[in-house]
A and B are shown apart, each in its own frame.
Chain A
Amino acid sequence: MRVPILKQENFLIASVQSALSDVEWERLRDDLADQVGRHRSYGVIVDISALDVLDSFATRTLRSIAYILSLRGAKTVVVGMQPDVAYSMVRLGLSLEHIETGLDLEDGLMILRESLKGGAGPV
């Protein structure tokens, strides 16, 4: 299943609706890297609230998405991680260092708007 990527103002919102295979994670990465340039977006929100498992590959891909997008000039916010997912991730020693996280979509939008106010990108 292709993850829908919505454009909202200057941001992109990728809402992961169900568990993704490794290939689908890679496609999400490629799609985002591509579209962030096409829409000239300044921020990307990846909503993972529907996921109750996040394995090491998904974690690594999320991290590389954030790094790739920052090289493309956009800030990434991962939002909506479920308590169980957060719990098992820290138990496994996986963490999303240097990546902004938010509670939910609303929170993510707020974080991006805040950071835009800070100077990066257009007002």
Chain B
Amino acid sequence: MARGTTSGTPNNITKELVANFKRERDRLRQQWVAQMTANNLLAGLTQEEIESEFATIYDTCVGCLETGSYEGAEKYALRMAERGVLRGMTTEQIIGGLLVLRDVYGRALFSWFQKDMAKLNKALDAYEPMANRILAIVSMAFIKEREQVVRQQQEAIRELSTPVLQVRDRMLILPIIGMIDSMRARQLMEQLLVSIRDNRAKVVILDVTGVPAVDSRVANHILQTVDAARLMGAATIVTGMSPEVAQALVAIGVDVVRFNTVGNLQGGIEEADRILGYKVIANLE
């Protein structure tokens, strides 16, 4: 991990700052907690949590300033983001808390060096990049955590959205529900092709009852799926085309002859039974 540019080599002013921060640890922490309470940023946290958590944050920040290494801060931020999201602690609380801490640190700087303007400037030079960087690290950790949650959910939705069902030996049904975009179409096709191989399917019923609308791209995706299934030796039956979808396909000028289409899913299964040589006999007794 890259070292901080300004504080990579601790100079005198940094050392002095660190010493001051360490000496005034308790007072500054109390000030911080008091300000957070005033700003109502501590809702939902117990006293022990506040004590231990804030001591760690305080020491981590000072540690970053002292060593110039932000690894510890990054690790801690990631852990905090994980827990924060799990426990329902808002991002506002955590970012807000850090801003307050920044404020507390800044005020301390002013009170220590108010007599010597040049020294105050130097101290700010050493302190500001650290404070900014820590804020950036924490914000990034939270964004990453959120992104991961979003990704996981997308994944879950994707898996739910394309079931390939086996109804009889060598017969699969792929019900498509909702809009198809390129991404979903590709996934659909891949999943179907793998299922054809795994289940040794000979007939696939592509049920598009749940597809509200098609454009030329979607039509093309469906055609490609049919073609790919055929290349693997499986026949495809398309069922459940609504009047709107059928009209749209004809209007677009899709080569409709390539579709083996049956009105509804029931008809599709009957057709598939015929191809596979099954006969359903009612046991009326």
Contacts and interface: CB of A to CB of B under 8 A. Distances in A.
Interface string B219-235: 00000110111111110
Contacts of B233: 79, 81, 101-104, 107-108
A103 B195 CA distance: 12
A86 B228 contact: yes
B270 interface: no
A107 B170 CA distance: 11
Interface in A58-83: 79, 81-83
B196 A89 contact: no
B189 interface: yes
Nearest to B197: A83
A96 B229 CA distance: 12
Nearest to B198: A83
A83 B190 contact: yes
A83 B193 contact: yes
Tier of interface size on chain B: 10 to 19
Interface in B176-200: 189-190, 193-194, 196-197, 200
Interface residues of A, number: 19
Interface of chain B, helix or strand or loop or mixed?
Answer: helix
A85 B232 CA distance: 9
Contact of B193 (A86, A91, A107, A108): A86
B102 interface: no
A107 B169 CA distance: 14
B202 to A, nearest CB: 7
B230 A82 contact: no
Interface in A82-106: 82-87, 89-91, 95-96, 101-104
Interface of B: 189-190, 193-194, 196-197, 200-202, 224-225, 227-234
Interface of A: 79, 81-87, 89-91, 95-96, 101-104, 107-108
Q: Which 9 A-B pairs have the closest CB atoms?
A: A83-B193, A102-B233, A103-B233, A86-B231, A86-B228, A90-B224, A101-B233, A90-B228, A90-B227
